[in-house]
Structure 1
């Protein structure tokens, strides 16, 4: 299984979180300079077009990009505090043929002061007709950064959900 992890603004996938993901498959984790790459969504799609992407994961700006990338590749996504409603830097949203993907799990922090859960929920509400399989985890006391313990727990829930859905 190939997992594409898309980091947030000025971020990267930590070695500890990479280890968590490697228990589930091969991890692609490109470095993205969002401030100088306003077409990062289409850039990511183009780079991974000839690879099999089974799962997309991302956080913040990477979660926002991951939303659209998972639609393009028609694969499930796990998105942490995704910057969907508002972004701190300009990103051009690629016109993608597919407006949905099989499953999207969102992890939103109630104490996030960078990507507000309320804004994300309003964005998601406007897309419900396209996405019957949203799983939204609103975590009280979670801020913008995702602690390793929360990351591990949500990754486990995500893969358990995939197994349950795929076996029905």
Structure 2
């Protein structure tokens, strides 16, 4: 569940940010979160190596019980992109800082979902293709398969891809 329900999004964004498919996946375990349901060993640390040589690490802990939070810090040669910080109410009171957090992904990502659907509708109206394709989904699914094997075996696992079908070159 942790890999194909949650980590798949980070797999997709790593490939998007680096413009390079993921070459291998490795999963490491931390001390088990006592809030996690039986059979779910989390938190995890996922290490992704891309074909271009970028190494990305993702910490995943979905049972933290304070809300729904996604943060990304991408460190590049000439700067850092800090993505997903809470922009809502922040209270500083009695030596503490508190921020409101989303409870679920539906409130956190509602504007992004709306924007993605609107871009698709606009592209269809113009007879164009915009946004991710099923090939993007395939690349993420192949990396998820490697992630599941890495989780099961505790080893670094190479991602196995098929060649891109000619169909996708027609869309460019």
Pairwise same-fold verdict (TM > 0.5): no
Q: TM-score, normalised by structure 1?
A: 0.30
Higher relative contact order (CA 8 A, sep 6+): 2
- Higher-strand-fraction structure: 2
Q: TM-score, normalised by structure 2?
A: 0.30
